[in-house]
Chain A
Amino acid sequence: MASSQHVLLSPAELAYLHASLSLTPPIRPDGRSPTQFRPLVAETGILPGTNGSARICFADGTEAIVGVKAEVERTAQRPGEETVFLEEGGGGDGDGDDDDDEEGETGAQGDRRKGEASWVEMTVEIPGLRDDDSGTAFLSAMLSEALLADGEFVKRLWINRRFHWKLYLDIILISPPLSYPLPLLSLTTHLALLSTRLPRLKSEGDEDPFFDDDWAAAPYLFPRSSSSSATAATNTTATKQPATATRPPITLLVMAFGNNIIFDPSKEELAVADVALAVSVTSSNSSSNSSGDGENDEAASAGGRSLRLLSIRTIDPPSRLTPPGVPNAANAAYGAAAALGTQKMLEARTAETEAVEGVWRAPRGGAKRMVLGALVQKTLERGGVVDEVLDALEGVDLG
């Protein structure tokens, strides 16, 4: 879909753009550094009728809104697991009482809490495209893949053995798809999940779930690292969270031009990329750092975050679909080739396949393994782009 959207650039312009992006250091059309993100406007909690919502406007004018709704759903029981449940049922009541010693608890609870990918339903709406459009389906698959990849996220939706939350994520692109909307949708989803709150559970064990009416007491699905220790003492659901405060995944686009690695491509840059990757990354603040409460937030956020790679997808850059430029020597319109004999025509054809300075030639063949490795490494670099983006998103006030 949008990734293969044609930009209205001539082959000569494409070649110029590609050449300037291949320089060391690369020169981007908007003067950014290779790792610099475009400014964005973000807000959360825009829709009080949802469990969590967010809106992000990118500088290129694209805008997305994500709303999260949660419903309680009965977990399908499998006959084989029933006996195990009954055995553990006795111990389950005890768990509710001694919440204080978390260290011993988390291990046991972590094993018990299960999740299934079907507990999350994600829909992507792109104006002007059909529901079953391959591009939309691919986008939604990539976004949900990042969310479900490690199986940790769905465990948060566990209520007790008989019930779970069913989470509906509705992702709407408001603006027409001007550039490939994957990073926008991913960042908006990240923010919406950060702002998502589920009602506080009042019932214990495997009873029918019963929730607190007070929305102010509702814990966040992803408790903030600074406040998580405070809320953990008061509510029972927070104790279910693992000791590390993980964050929802983000998916970023990374491109390679020769040896240059460039983040956050604009539409024009993506159109000439050699390789474009969608890299999904999640972050977890390691428990060793968060245990030291005396540390200030900056140190915890900069040093304590460990990035984890969730998934990688190659994106077909539109450059593969751009028609190659024809050198003047071989261009019939210039009269050069018209009068030539077959011998010279053959030469002209070889000239077309060779790289000619200033003539656009679409990249051929797949990405080299070294390049892919470098792209991933650069993304996961400490203090790199992902850290910067996550810090920025964490700075958004959760309404």
Chain B
Amino acid sequence: MPLDTSTYNLALLRVDGRRWNELRRVHAQIRTQAAADGSSYLEMGHTKVMCVVTGPSEPGPRRGGVAGGGSGGAGAGGAGGKAEVVVGIVIAGFSSVDRKRHGRGDKRTLELASTVANALAASLHTHLFPHSQINVSLHVLSQDGSLLAALINAATLACVDAGIPMTDYVAACTAGSTSTYAANDEGADPLLDLNHQEEQELPGLTVATLGESDRVAVLVCESRVQVSRLEGMLAVGVDGCKQMREILDRVVRDKGRRMIQEGTVEKGVGLDDMDVD
């Protein structure tokens, strides 16, 4: 079903009623699961992702093809004196509109996993945990575009929950452009946070930045787009990542504040700047 992009120029509203620079509703939770070292749940619009982090722990016996479904590893395990980040992604059969079985060896899933693993390995202080493994298992419950961005954000939150030292949040977001590549429209506006419909039709990229800085940690673009439009898309994407970082940070702080209030954890030295009522 082709996306009707013609109406955008009339009201400057997208198919779901957003402006060009608006994120979808983001809802996130951390510590959703008692048994895991770290866990999180993230919704970006209708994209829903769950993440469970186990580790850093002793690497288990190597099974054939590494643990989990689409999985990717990054950082040398053991020998390099750094923890290995192993990411497994399970895409539920019921996640898309039409039920589709995603096999374990699905190349797309593997690529997503290795992208997430590389992004995490670069920002986690893996050198503090030599000869160990950090297992990140991601479950996709519902898909509506910006899947990679949601996976990265969920993994970041779960790593924060697991208490693994990291340089900063890795916040991700997608950006696109209002007209297709074929239209070759010079005046096309950049768009923030694509949904599934837009992702199908319009050029888009996924960008992840490190914290509040402009340092790009992940940049994935799988569609054809004119070079002249790329800069605008990237700028909007990086801006979106900053918004996303604020959201993630608020989630973590809220949870931390609640835990202190409930007495789950003691108010520590570093927490003085947090205003606990």
Contact = CB atoms under 8 A, between A and B. Distances in A.
A71 B96 CA distance: 13
Given A61-B34, A61-B36, A127-B52, A69 B90 contact: no
B139 A47 contact: no
A260 B92 CA distance: 40
A50 B33 contact: no
Contacts of B48: 47
Interface residues of A, number: 28
A175 B33 contact: yes
A79 interface: no
A174 B88 contact: no
B108 interface: no
B230 to A, nearest CB: 33
Nearest to B37: A176
Interface in A34-79: 46-47, 49-50, 53, 57, 60-63, 65, 67-69, 71
Contact of A130 (B64, B137, B141): B64
B14 interface: no
A68 B94 contact: yes
A47 B68 contact: no
Given A130-B65, A131-B103, A172 B46 contact: no
Contacts of A175: 33, 35-36, 52
Given A60-B35, A61-B36, A174 B139 contact: yes
B35 A128 contact: no
A174 B52 contact: yes
A279 B145 CA distance: 42
Contacts of B93: 67, 69, 123, 168, 170
A130 B35 contact: no
Contacts of A127: 52, 67-69, 88, 90, 137, 139
Given A65-B92, A71-B99, A125-B69, A172 B54 contact: no
B33 A49 contact: no
Contacts of B88: 127-128
A61 B46 contact: no
A46 B32 CA distance: 14
Contacts of B101: 123
Interface in B173-193: none
Given A49-B142, A65-B139, A175-B52, A57 B34 contact: yes
Interface in A99-150: 123, 125, 127-128, 130-131
Contacts of B269: none
Interface string B212-251: 0000000000000000000000000000000000000000
Given A57-B33, A61-B33, A61-B36, A130 B104 contact: yes
A131 B64 CA distance: 12
Contacts of B141: 46-47, 65, 67
Contacts of A65: 50, 92, 139, 141
A63 B104 CA distance: 21
Interface in A156-190: 168, 170, 172, 174-176, 178
Interface of A: 46-47, 49-50, 53, 57, 60-63, 65, 67-69, 71, 123, 125, 127-128, 130-131, 168, 170, 172, 174-176, 178
Interface of B: 33-36, 46, 48, 50, 52, 54, 63-65, 67-69, 88, 90, 92-95, 97-99, 101, 103-104, 135, 137, 139, 141-142
